[in-house]
Amino acid sequence: MPDLGWSVGGHHFTSRLIVGTGKYASLDVMRAAHEASGAEMVTVAIRRIHLDDPSGKTLLDHIDRARYRILPNTAGCFTAKDAILTAQLAREALQTDLIKLEVIGDERCTLMRRKRRPPPMRLSKTGSPCCPTLETTPFCASASRRSAAPP
């Protein structure tokens, strides 16, 4: 059976790989990695976009936006409130309806907070499709699935 790709929020993709923008040795290395990956979506931490660069350029200026759909993420947010605000700002600033929500509870290992209802389900009630970041532990996956269940 042929692979028909996947869709989220009305956007269709043939590549299942989503690449990031962090931890590259340089912007040139990042661009080369994006090109070599075959990905169609690039996730960008909104809090890493420095608007005060003297050159006037931001990280987004180094991503071919005609080729890649930008998936803004809320990396660096420690509360659901901060993540939702950051997501809403990203949605407006980047004119996108795709958001990758992340709420971390530990600075050292960036594990998600486990005690509250995950913010992706709250933001989705505003009508925005979102891609939650989940830990790979069965506990967190189960909790997120339960919170996404219809009332």
Helix (H, G, I), strand (E, B) or coil at 8: strand
Helix (H, G, I), strand (E, B) or coil at 51: coil
Which among 56, 54, 57, 84 is positioned nearest to 72, based on CA atoms? 84
Neighbours of 48 (CB within 10 A): 13
Structure tokens at 14: 């043939």
Catalytic residue among 23, 57, 81, 100: 100
Which among 58, 62, 90 is positioned nearest to 74, based on CA atoms? 90
What is the distance in angstroms between the CA of the first residue and the CA of the last residue of the chain? 36
Q: Is 115 part of the annotated catalytic residue set?
A: no
The catalytic residue positions are: 100
